[in-house]
Amino acid sequence: MEHHVVIEKLCSCAKKEGLSQIDTYEAKDTALEAAETKLAHMNGSFCGKHEFQLVEVNDNFVIGMVGGGCGCK
């Protein structure tokens, strides 16, 4: 079974970094580790105008913005 790490909405910071919106992994634990690493990078390296959170949805991991809209330029 495949497991995906999905960035719900690619903000301009994610686009500048060249992050892919969907990454696919065979093992769920590998997908979770990749999602946590990506989440830490996004929260630590992006513009700081918003925060990201990780949610598990049907054995996939979705990274979304806390509070909605994007304020990065």
**DSSP string over 17-57:** HT--SEEEESSHHHHHHHHHHHHHHHHHHS-SSS-EEEEEE
Identify whether 23 is part of a domain: yes
What pLDDT is stored for residue 50 in this prediction? 84
What pLDDT is stored for residue 64 in this prediction? 96
Full residue range of the structural domain in which residue 12 is found: 3-65
Identify whether 25 is part of a domain: yes
Structural domains of the chain, count: 1
Looking at residues 57-70, what average pLDDT do you find?
Answer: 86
Identify whether 11 is part of a domain: yes
Choice between 69 and 56, residue whose per-residue pLDDT is larger: 56
Cα 73 from Cα 68, distance rounded (Å): 15
Identify whether 72 is part of a domain: no
Identify whether 71 is part of a domain: no
pTM for the structure as a whole: 0.89
Could you tell me the two tokens for 1? Answer: 């079974």
Residues 6+ apart with CB under 8 A from 68: none
Identify whether 70 is part of a domain: no
Identify whether 59 is part of a domain: yes
Identify whether 34 is part of a domain: yes
